[in-house]
Amino acid sequence: MVEKVIWPAYLDAALTRSQGRRVPEASAVEEPTVDEIARAVQQVGYDTVIERDKAYSREGWEERGRVLVKNADDSSKNDLIQAVAAYVTAMRN
pLDDT, one tens digit per residue, over 62-88 is 999 999 999 988 889 999 999 999 999
Helix and strand element counts for the chain (H, E): 2, 3
Residue range 28-37, pLDDT digits in tens:
999 999 999 9
Instruction: List residues bridging with 4 in a β-sheet.
Output: 69
Task: Read off the pLDDT of residues 43-60 as tens digits, 9 standing for 90 and up.
Answer: 999 999 999 999 999 988
User: Which 3 state secondary structure label does DSSP give 3?
Assistant: strand
Residue 1 reports pLDDT greater than 70 = no
What pLDDT score was predicted for residue 2? 73
Helix pair angle (77-92, 34-44), 10° resolution: 110
* pTM, 2 dp: 0.94
